[in-house]
A and B are shown apart, each in its own frame.
Chain A
Amino acid sequence: MSIQLDKALGIHTQLLQFHTQRTQILANNLANSDTPNYKAQDLTYSATMNKINARDTQLNLSKEIFFRIPFQRSENGNTVELGIEQAKFAENNLNYQTSLNFLKMKISGLKSAIEGR
């Protein structure tokens, strides 16, 4: 009987990957908030969860990116809306920390089991 670390840690390792890649995309949006003709992008949970359920251990999410539909058109073709992007960034950051805390708890649980306390 051997411990399968992938199964023991659950989906949180993949979720961390997802949140890191989403941070990258949202950072792109925020960095290009003044660039003409830049189109804001994002990732969704549903597409990612399908990938995770399909046992895709190395998440390749580049095909799951979609362009955000802006609430208001801007003159220079830029679709980054600062308030929305900042809210998504904060939300994504919090979700990242949550996944990381779950992962920490899983690891410390495994550690207690190994040490027999």
Chain B
Amino acid sequence: MSFQQIFLTAGSAMTAQTVRLNTISSNLANADSFSGNKEDVFKPLKPIFATIYNNMNNGSASNIRSAQVMVADVIATDSLTQQRHEPENPLANAEGNVFYSGIDVVSEMADMMSASRSFEMNVEVLNNAKSMQQSLISVLDI
């Protein structure tokens, strides 16, 4: 029986969603941060998910593949960086410009809800697999 693989799959998905939630919290915390030059400003982080397929049991009884989730990379995007002309700002550069991170708080919040729902769903999968295994064990004490 292959319950262990189910636990691993759901666990990997929960880890991936945690990483996603972590990047979202960084983005939200730095939503209003700005800097005097374009390189130093906070850039929104975005995790890239990928699937790892692996055969279990080396093809003996059941070689259904498990498909775990891995975080392939966390990329920093600079497409949202905004330049504003604020000469009175103490961090402004020689031309009087400051650079904002330009993070969209609303879309980050929506992403956060999606991540936490996915996490909860995988907890549900874990609970179901656990109860299946427990009821299988209870066959033994008839």
Contact with B along A17-34 (1 / 0, CB 8 A): 100110111011011111
CB pair A32–B13 under 8 Å, yes or no, is: yes
Cβ of A46 within 8 Å of any chain B Cβ, yes or no, is no
Q: Which residues of B contact A103 (CB under 8 A)?
A: 139
Total residues of chain A contacting the partner, CB 8 A: 35
Q: How far is the CB of A44 from chain B (nearest CB, A)?
A: 14
CB pair A31–B12 under 8 Å, yes or no, is: yes
- Given contacts A20-B3, A27-B6, A35-B50, are A86 and B121 in contact (CB under 8 A)? yes
Q: How far is the CB of B131 from chain A (nearest CB, A)?
A: 8
Cβ of B65 within 8 Å of any chain A Cβ, yes or no, is yes
CB pair B2–A31 under 8 Å, yes or no, is: no
> How far apart are the CA atoms of A86 and B65 in the complex, in Å?
20
Question: Which single member of B49, B125, B132 contacts A96 (CB below 8 Å)?
Answer: B132
Question: Which of A1-39 touch B at CB < 8 Å?
Answer: 16-17, 20-21, 23-25, 27-28, 30-36, 38
Q: Which of B37-45, B66-74, B88-96, B100-108 contacts A (4 or more CB under 8 A)?
A: B66-74
Question: Which single member of B1, B51, B64 contacts A25 (CB below 8 Å)?
Answer: B64
Q: How far is the CB of B16 from chain A (nearest CB, A)?
A: 8
CB pair B1–A93 under 8 Å, yes or no, is: no
Q: Which residue of A lies closest to B56 (CB)?
A: A24
Q: Which residue of A lies closest to B60 (CB)?
A: A58
Question: Which of B2-20 touch A at CB < 8 Å?
Answer: 2-3, 5-6, 9-10, 12-13, 16-17, 20
Between A and B, 7 residue pairs with Cβ closer than 8 Å are A16-B136, A23-B129, A24-B9, A28-B66, A31-B10, A34-B16, A96-B132
